[in-house]
């Protein structure tokens, strides 16, 4: 946050090769165009007329993604690798497929290698063979959830081993599909490769089902995740309203950011309490969750609670350190609430029925829905274009509805949160009519 | 079990009223017909020519369901009640709707009352008002899961209170939609009403998502349940195959009968171990689950286990007595297996990832799929016809593809199980290629 | 029709080889069993106690399908072919996959050949190469609609060419997945092969999305087709009820039998007129469709009509002969009704909006839903068992919920129709409340 | 286009009433805020550093939508009307529901009236009664397609009659959900009401399934429409690839703009030719569609064509004037192509099978998918806030991911088109690999 914004993109060197893709270089001829390196997008678009901005600094502008007329690599010399890391997310296969198809059909690259099971697949102590990729292999993979390459967490501390593997395979292009930890490691890997004077384009496609990466308008798979979470909340509502003092409790993903919970709440009428990591809440006390829940049951006879896994950690955090991806261990707020609410109802002599649903794995593993498929196709395609133009240490991002190049270090420098003062959260409050604050004091 | 089969149906008295439904009484005129009381269906249809049966006894034949020409009740005098009991199941609303619509439109019955929250809604100490039902109320309810009437378990020990309520409301027709416990109570209620010389038709629609009621070819909601369970197994398979030694573990309903697990296995290729209550298995030992699982991981790198909640109870049963429906408490085999397998992998130094999915509430609460809707519509319609004809203490059942009247006491006398020697289980073994026995001795 | 029922199954010769499948031969040991040749199912199960049947004739009994202990073929000598013919139907790929997997995994057959594009793929003047089949090829095909083998209509007149191809390829087992025309041709092919003294098992899996094959309880893909047809009727209902005098008109498959239309009507509340080939109707006249439609619009402001493609052919039939499958050309009743109703509304000065939907290709090409997948898996598996046992000129059928062997000539001898006096059609009338007859006179 | 952009919003008068909604007026207190009238969004966000913009003019800025601290109306005096016009579109019910719920729950407005069947419902010669709206009425309507109010086209020439009705009903707030024609009429109605010195807020929610309204980033229902269109193309692909020289031809909506066709193409791999109104194409000639289709069939054996209804009008336009919405009559390009391609194949002696699918009504009438539901909820909520603040002659729009007020006259002044030089169309060309131009000269 203290760091200044600088959206300047690094390149491996000058582009001296003509792209094999035939496009127009003129605007106005009704033909699709190459993208030029001086086409930019504004990031910050809010304005007050009373305080008009005077000028943009170059570093505030985001470079447009897309095919360049001149590229860095001779396609015949390219050996590209694709790796998927971290937890599953809808759309992984769509991204893989788009990268492969764009490299193969548009640039005629013929050496594309899938790294198995995340960064682990680079390591010498791991025996699984790499996966040759071509259009036949990826033809139908978008109809399946998960990733055909497999995934794993961690190994960000094995950068030298990974760089050795890159050298051994003569890779000059690496596509890393993963989240915060993955992209931090990809940055470290790129720097190690530079130290070794290797010209390797490292291009990331940001993946976070929680939608919590900075400068990224919407992460792929997020809409599909919300659509599946909606099904779980519908079930919880049916269970709740079919029982005397029925309580439906659903836990969804959202370690540090409650975007899935917030959007799910807006998509469906039936959430009465939406709990997210960004908004503290008390369980006890007159303005706590239990008191409000009791009132709701008295008035309406049933209630639905949607909780993001990272919410209410003050009650369950055990300070247990981090997992292999570098994420801190979360206490299980869903099971904790289930137990606390059940106990509360007993102590209040309230005959109640609580049904707890955790649909997380069913959400993560679902295939991308069409709108996410479109998005993944375009992310992957733009990643291929960026790498062919010798651009590196960047992520493909959608900003203000334009595909842009985003320096990797900018994206990993901080998280994206649900702003309690945003229009999004305000709309959640309107739909749930839950108290703006559920804390005592 | 000791009791002989006797499919004879009880009636409240002679039918002296002409049905307001206009149908043909002749076969061969290409017009839909009334059903006559001497139309029957064979129950047992397996045969060996070497041992030909000579004759049927009357008690072995099942009476066909359907509209009768002469009915028992004057529609203007009918006050019908509908009650849904026990756990949720896809199609409850479809059945309610069909009963209401058939009574209203076909017989012009105008007093139909929904009892809220199961048998509890009959009790004097329960304040929720009853729900007047008409076609407008039930118009769209089949598009929603659950039951608009609400449900609850138990209260089978409050028969006199329930009979009092029936008297108080002047009900002469009760439709009970529920499982084993519900139908036992409906039988007791009917007998109590008879003792009081009340003429009340008590007609049940059998509900068991586990498909474990005897003499009932297929319980409503079962196909929908399987379709949803398939989604969970697909997720488990995606998770398993995307990780190094990935294990997907799914628990589905099936307290005493593994029909959901067996059918789900047949619907999807990816189950490697299907565990059901009817087939004992060992966890330890060379022919136990863990040993077989290890071999599978060594050969294929991932595995999917589907377990019915009632399987392997010898490992988890705590002899804790019964729940309100009279079902015995089950130990949680899913969580037990999760913990045992995780521990086993650690002890074997096997880096493995286990993902556990319990989709039960998402399965129960889903709306019926079209084929189940058709079935529910027909069950409800036939229930209405049976009651109007003064038939009582019966369930509507589908036997050998014919809708029939089944004496309630026959259905509650024993359970339906997956026969290890059946074609169904043989086909499961073919699909999973799991050992026929996973026991040591 | 004049022919008597005779369900006796033909075999190629005595079974002298032990099946490689290990099953139990005893009942009562809780182990899955071989099926014996003297296990049968009753076909006709309706009964009247007043008129008890005394005995069964052998020819009235249907042989149970399933794995035999002794088989005819040495698996190492088997070369099996699979061919799919006629129009698409949900589940084709499931059947192919089950046949391949059962032959490969259970019997260890290693030569399985897919014939491309129906019987056409056998012909010498057709260049498309055959498709070698193994479990890897068929692994995921059940998630896709259509058939990976391709299909075509006709060529039933090229039996000798087909027999030549069978000889050339040294096939000794042919699985034909197709309808009436396909199975007639398979019978002719089998007879030609017998004439040439070739021992070739010809086993069919009956396919008819219309559900109109005799002695076959339910054709595969039918439930999926109904589920998709329901979506079209839902759309028609939304369109109709959203417009002033809105009329939704949906045409579904059903050349000679209205099963899809009837079941779709039962699955959804919103059909007001269900028109099928089996029930004649008039368009004009006081008891004709238009008059009833007008009354419905006056009373309710909108209407939904569901018509099977073979209904009302007296209005549109052009006596144009047959298509390549030997089916007679149908006039387009859907477009005819659209035009007649629109004209009628104009002539009556009725401001009406008609929306016409023909979802046929979207229905045919959809993947099988889980319950159909189960069914297809079991059909294919039983077909493989039958062929391995040297049984021939038979179809796998489900009769009274048992999988049985059905002589092919029985199935092709006549059609299955919606009986206007059946419980099915009576229930349709209850749901639509349309007149039992819409004819004048 | 000649007209200058001016995004200034009109108001009915000063806001002197405190909003009943309790929100924070400070930023930084982590509480949801009122939106102030000096918060704006930039519309044009592309930039080139070489040519830095110096300042914004006020008229270029779009006012942020959201709840104001001070409102114009006393909620107790409000009588609001909601009307839906034109063709069906997924999400109509979601918008209605959000408007009603926001007015009712947040502002405590108690008089909300649904106008039946579009503007027609205002007319004195139309008898259908208006529909009182409250939260109970709209509770579940978002689960259904279409509009509970009904819709119709036209009546934009009956402004005086409509204004009379507004006076008669004492409406002071009108929400118009509709497209170009609807919003033109709403502008005329607002001006007529002003002439009569009536203070009526007229707020529109722009509806166009074609996504062709200017200054509107994405129209509601569009993503759902694409998702359904994808299903139709999947079917066409299955049909095409299952037949010898199979051709799948799908027509989707898109009168003047090919957004649905373009997005559908990106969502699915299988379109080979995407034809849209914005890109002219020839059918004949060496660079025409038929020649390219023939090559595709020769190389791959099947092809899928996706055509927007407004494409290729030079072949089918009959200059027949306009429909009731003021849209010009389109010739049926889908049926024309079907006939031309079939004829071409015959003339070329190409045995081909063409399957034609028109899923338009099934697309229009489907319920909104979750992401569209969220969008509709927020559009409706923001419309209610705008009207309560006395803002008028505006549409709620999403611009650069912010909800803004857009003057109605700006939106109706021109259409939104697929720019052949856009990144969207370039990506379509990459996916289909169709020629950039299919014209001869």
| Average pLDDT rounded to a whole number, residues C130-158 | 93
Q: Please tell me the distance from the alpha carbon of residue C342 to that of residue C336, in angstroms, as a whole number.
A: 10
Chains near C with 3+ CB pairs less than 8 A apart are A, B, D
Q: Identify all chain C residues contacting A143, using CB atoms and an 8 Å cutoff.
A: 143-144
Query: Do D299 and D208 belong together in one domain?
Result: no
Query: Do B316 and B326 belong together in one domain?
Result: yes
**What are the beta bridge partners of residue B80?**
B112, B173
Q: Is D2 on the interface with A (CB under 8 A)?
A: no
Q: Is B156 on the interface with C (CB under 8 A)?
A: no
Query: Do A226 and A187 belong together in one domain?
Result: no
Give B178 to chain C, closest Cα distance, Å: 22
Q: Is B385 on the interface with A (CB under 8 A)?
A: no
CA C38 to chain centre: 28
Locate the chain C residue with the closest alpha carbon to D146: C238
Q: Please tell me the distance from the alpha carbon of residue A298 to that of residue B133, in angstroms, as a whole number.
A: 25
**Is B438 inside any structural domain?**
no
Query: Do B277 and B322 belong together in one domain?
Result: yes
| Average pLDDT rounded to a whole number, residues C149-154 | 92
CATH at C23: 3.40.50.450
Give C299 to chain A, closest Cα distance, Å: 34
Give A415 to chain B, closest Cα distance, Å: 26
Q: Which of B 177-206 lie inside 8 A of C, CB atoms? A: none
Confidence of residue A1 (pLDDT cuts 50, 70, 90): very low
pLDDT confidence of residue A257:
93
Give C58 to chain B, closest Cα distance, Å: 6
Query: Do B285 and B314 belong together in one domain?
Result: yes
Query: Do C155 and C26 belong together in one domain?
Result: yes
Q: Is C146 on the interface with D (CB under 8 A)?
A: yes
CA C53 to chain centre: 32
Locate the chain D residue with the closest alpha carbon to B141: D140
Interface contact A436-D31, CB threshold 8 A: yes
The terminus-to-terminus CA distance of chain D in angstroms comes to 29
| Average pLDDT rounded to a whole number, residues C118-132 | 91
- Summarised one tens digit per residue, pLDDT across range B167-182 is 999 999 999 999 989 9
Q: Is D67 on the interface with A (CB under 8 A)?
A: yes
Q: Identify all chain D residues contacting A431, using CB atoms and an 8 Å cutoff.
A: 377
Interface contact D144-B144, CB threshold 8 A: no
Q: Identify all chain C residues contacting D131, using CB atoms and an 8 Å cutoff.
A: none
Give B393 to chain C, closest Cα distance, Å: 22
Number of domains comprising chain D: 2
Q: Is A364 on the interface with B (CB under 8 A)?
A: yes
Q: Please tell me the distance from the alpha carbon of residue D297 to that of residue B242, in angstroms, as a whole number.
A: 37
pLDDT confidence of residue C45:
83
* SS3 state of residue B294: helix
| Sign of the torsion formed by the C-alpha atoms of A53, A57, A58 and A60 | negative
Confidence of residue B1 (pLDDT cuts 50, 70, 90): very low
**Is A1 inside any structural domain?**
no
- Summarised one tens digit per residue, pLDDT across range B391-429 is 999 999 999 999 999 999 988 878 889 999 999 999 999
* C421: nearest CB among B33, B50, B423: B33
Query: Do B210 and B354 belong together in one domain?
Result: no
At a CB cut-off of 8 Å and minimum separation 6, what does A364 contact? A87, A88, A89, A90, A145, A209, A225, A253, B235, B239
Structural domain that includes position C271: 223-364+420-432
Which of these is catalytic: A94, A180, A210, A212? A210
Residues of chain D under the 50 pLDDT cut: 1-3
By annotation, the residues of D acting in catalysis are 210
pLDDT for residue B435 is more than 90: yes
Q: Which of B 71-110 lie inside 8 A of A, CB atoms? A: 88
Q: Which two tokens stand for residue C155?
A: 């060529």
- Summarised one tens digit per residue, pLDDT across range C294-345 is 999 999 999 999 999 999 999 988 766 666 666 677 889 999 999 999 999 9
Query: Do C158 and C297 belong together in one domain?
Result: no
SS (H, E, C) B62-99: EEECCCCCEECCCHHHCCEEEEECCCCCCCHHHHHHHH
Locate the chain B residue with the closest alpha carbon to C107: B430
A164 a catalytic residue: no
Contact criterion met (CB below 8 Å) for A283 and A438: no
- Summarised one tens digit per residue, pLDDT across range C169-208 is 999 999 999 998 999 999 999 999 999 999 999 999 999 8
Predicted ipTM? 0.92
| Sign of the torsion formed by the C-alpha atoms of A304, A307, A312 and A315 | positive
* Pairs of CB atoms within 8 A across B/D: 6
SS (H, E, C) D34-85: CCCCCCEEECCCEECCCCCCCCCCHHHEEEECCCCCEECCCHHHCCEEEEEC
Q: Please tell me the distance from the alpha carbon of residue B381 to that of residue B175, in angstroms, as a whole number.
A: 11
CATH at C307: 3.40.50.460
SS (H, E, C) D360-419: HHHHHCCCCCHHHHHHHHHHHHHHHHHHHCCEECEEEEEECCEEEEEEHHHHHHCECCCC
Contact criterion met (CB below 8 Å) for B141 and B174: no
Q: Is B7 on the interface with A (CB under 8 A)?
A: no
* SS3 state of residue B247: strand
Q: Please tell me the distance from the alpha carbon of residue D80 to that of residue D200, in angstroms, as a whole number.
A: 9
- Summarised one tens digit per residue, pLDDT across range B341-369 is 999 999 999 989 999 999 999 999 999 99
Indicate the burial class of A356 (C-beta count within 10 angstroms; 0-12, 13-18, 19 or more): buried
Q: Is A245 on the interface with B (CB under 8 A)?
A: no
Interface contact D45-A41, CB threshold 8 A: yes
Indicate the burial class of D205 (C-beta count within 10 angstroms; 0-12, 13-18, 19 or more): buried
* A362: nearest CB among B145, B357, B366: B357
φ, ψ for residue A407, nearest 5 deg: -60, 135
Q: Please tell me the distance from the alpha carbon of residue A333 to that of residue A283, in angstroms, as a whole number.
A: 11
Q: Is D144 on the interface with B (CB under 8 A)?
A: yes
**Is D138 inside any structural domain?**
yes
- Summarised one tens digit per residue, pLDDT across range A395-404 is 999 999 999 9
Contact criterion met (CB below 8 Å) for A213 and A137: no
**Is A2 inside any structural domain?**
no
- Mean pLDDT of the residues in chain C: 92
SS (H, E, C) D127-181: CCCCEECCHHHHCCHHHCCCCCCCCCCCCCCCHHHHHHHHHHHCCCEEEEEECHH
Mutating which of B93, B137, B143 best tests the D interface, going by the most D Cβ atoms within 10 A? B143
Q: Identify all chain D residues contacting C357, using CB atoms and an 8 Å cutoff.
A: 361-362
Q: Which of D221, D189, D215, D206 is nearest to D395 (CA)?
A: D206
Q: Please tell me the distance from the alpha carbon of residue A73 to that of residue B182, in angstroms, as a whole number.
A: 73
Q: Which two tokens stand for residue C145?
A: 């609609």
**What are the beta bridge partners of residue C247?**
C303, C354
**Is D439 inside any structural domain?**
no
Contact criterion met (CB below 8 Å) for A415 and A213: yes
Give C196 to chain D, closest Cα distance, Å: 31
pLDDT confidence of residue C164:
96
Q: Is B144 on the interface with D (CB under 8 A)?
A: yes
Q: Identify all chain A residues contacting D29, using CB atoms and an 8 Å cutoff.
A: 421
Chains near A with 3+ CB pairs less than 8 A apart are B, C, D
Query: Do C335 and C352 belong together in one domain?
Result: yes
Which of these is catalytic: B180, B210, B212, B372? B210
Size (chain D), residues: 441
Q: Identify all chain A residues contacting D102, using CB atoms and an 8 Å cutoff.
A: 430
Interface contact D364-C144, CB threshold 8 A: no
SS (H, E, C) chain A: CCCCCCCCCEECCCCCEECCCCCECCCCCCCCECCCCCCEEECCCEECCCCCCCCCCHHHEEEECCCCCEECCCHHHCCEEEEECCCCCCCHHHHHHHHHHHHHHHCCCCCEEEECCHHHHHCCCCCCCCEECCHHHHCCHHHCCCCCCCCCCCCCCCHHHHHHHHHHHCCCEEEEEECHHHHHHHHHHHHHHHHCCCCCEEEEEECCCCCCECCCCCCCCHHHHHHHHHHHHHHHHHHHHCCCCEEEEEEECCCCCCHHHHHHHHHCCCCCEEECCCCCECCCCCCCHHHHHHHHHHHHCEEEEEEECCCCHHHHCCCCCECCCCCECCCCHHHHHHHHHHHHHHHCCCCCEEEEECCHHHHHCCCCCHHHHHHHHHHHHHHHHHHHCCEECEEEEEECCEEEEEEHHHHCCCECCCCCCCHHHHHHHHHHCCCCCECCC
Longest dimension (CA), chain C: 78
Interface contact B421-C56, CB threshold 8 A: no
pLDDT confidence of residue C334:
95
Q: Identify all chain D residues contacting C356, using CB atoms and an 8 Å cutoff.
A: 361
Chains near D with 3+ CB pairs less than 8 A apart are A, B, C
Interface contact A45-D400, CB threshold 8 A: yes
Q: Which of B 111-140 lie inside 8 A of D, CB atoms? A: 140
Q: Please tell me the distance from the alpha carbon of residue B217 to that of residue B259, in angstroms, as a whole number.
A: 12
pLDDT for residue A2 is more than 50: no
pLDDT for residue B311 is more than 70: yes
| Average pLDDT rounded to a whole number, residues C264-290 | 95
CA distances from B162 to A136, B115, B383 (A): 67, 11, 21
At a CB cut-off of 8 Å and minimum separation 6, what does B267 contact? B226, B227, B230, C370, C371, C373, C374, C377
Q: Is B25 on the interface with C (CB under 8 A)?
A: no
Q: Which two tokens stand for residue A150?
A: 């497999």
Query: Do D18 and D97 belong together in one domain?
Result: yes
Interface contact C150-D243, CB threshold 8 A: yes
Which of these is catalytic: C94, C180, C210, C270? C210
Q: Please tell me the distance from the alpha carbon of residue D256 to that of residue C39, in angstroms, as a whole number.
A: 66
**Is A289 inside any structural domain?**
yes
Query: Do C370 and C327 belong together in one domain?
Result: no
**Is B186 inside any structural domain?**
yes
Q: Identify all chain B residues contacting D144, using CB atoms and an 8 Å cutoff.
A: 140, 143
Percentage of chain A lying above the pLDDT 70 cut: 95
Interface contact C32-B431, CB threshold 8 A: no
pLDDT for residue A55 is more than 80: no
| Average pLDDT rounded to a whole number, residues A66-87 | 96
Q: Please tell me the distance from the alpha carbon of residue B43 to that of residue B404, in angstroms, as a whole number.
A: 10
Give D398 to chain A, closest Cα distance, Å: 11
Q: Is D218 on the interface with B (CB under 8 A)?
A: no
Give B440 to chain A, closest Cα distance, Å: 34
Q: Which of B94, B368, B88 is nearest to B228 (CA)?
A: B368
Query: How does strand D112-115 pair with strand D131-132?
Result: antiparallel
Give B405 to chain A, closest Cα distance, Å: 29
**Is B441 inside any structural domain?**
no
Interface contact B231-A359, CB threshold 8 A: no
Query: Do A274 and A341 belong together in one domain?
Result: yes
């Amino acid at each position: 946050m203290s760091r200044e914004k600088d959206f300047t993109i690094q390149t491996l060197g000058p582009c001296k090769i003509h792209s094999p893709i035939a496009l127009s270089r003129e605007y106005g001829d009704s033909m699709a165009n190459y993208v030029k390196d001086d086409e930019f997008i504004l990031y910050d678009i809010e304005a007050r007329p009373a305080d008009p901005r005077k000028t943009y600094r170059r570093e505030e502008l985001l470079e447009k993604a897309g095919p360049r007329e001149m590229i860095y690599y001779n396609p015949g010399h390219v050996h590209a690798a694709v790796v998927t890391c971290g937890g599953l997310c809808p759309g992984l296969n769509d991204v893989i497929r788009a990268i492969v198809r764009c490299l193969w059909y548009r640039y005629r690259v013929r050496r594309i290698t899938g790294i198995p099971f995340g960064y682990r697949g680079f390591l010498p102590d791991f025996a699984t063979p790499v996966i040759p990729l071509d259009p036949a292999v990826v033809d139908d993979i978008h109809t399946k959830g998960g990733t055909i390459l497999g995934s794993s967490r961690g190994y960000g501390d094995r950068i030298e081993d990974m760089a050795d593997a890159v050298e051994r395979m003569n890779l000059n292009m690496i596509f890393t599909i993963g989240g915060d930890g993955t992209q931090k490691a990809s940055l470290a890997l790129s720097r190690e490769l530079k130290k070794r004077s290797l010209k390797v384009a490292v291009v990331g496609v940001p993946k976070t089902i929680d939608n919590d990466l900075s400068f990224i308008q919407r992460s792929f798979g997020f809409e599909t995740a919300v659509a599946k979470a909606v099904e779980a909340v519908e079930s919880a509502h049916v269970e709740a309203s079919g029982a005397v003092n029925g309580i439906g409790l659903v836990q969804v993903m959202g370690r540090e950011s409650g975007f899935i919970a917030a959007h799910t709440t807006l998509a469906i009428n039936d959430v009465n309490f939406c709990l997210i990591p960004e908004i503290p809440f008390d369980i006890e006390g007159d303005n706590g969750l239990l008191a409000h829940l009791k009132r709701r049951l008295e008035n309406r006879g049933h209630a639905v609670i949607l909780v993001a896994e990272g919410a209410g950690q003050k009650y369950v955090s055990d300070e247990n350190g981090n997992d292999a991806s570098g994420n801190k261990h979360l206490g299980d707020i869903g099971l904790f609430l289930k137990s606390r609410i059940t106990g509360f109802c007993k102590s209040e002599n309230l005959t109640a029925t609580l049904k707890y649903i955790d649909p997380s794995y069913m959400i993560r593993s679902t295939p991308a829905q069409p709108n996410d498929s479109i998005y993944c196709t375009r992310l992957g395609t733009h990643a291929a274009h960026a790498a062919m133009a010798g651009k590196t240490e960047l992520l493909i991002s959608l900003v203000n509805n334009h595909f842009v190049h985003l320096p990797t270090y900018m994206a990993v420098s901080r998280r994206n949160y649900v702003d309690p003062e945003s229009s999004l959260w305000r709309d959640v409050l309107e739909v749930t009519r839950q108290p703006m604050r559920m804390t005592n004091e």
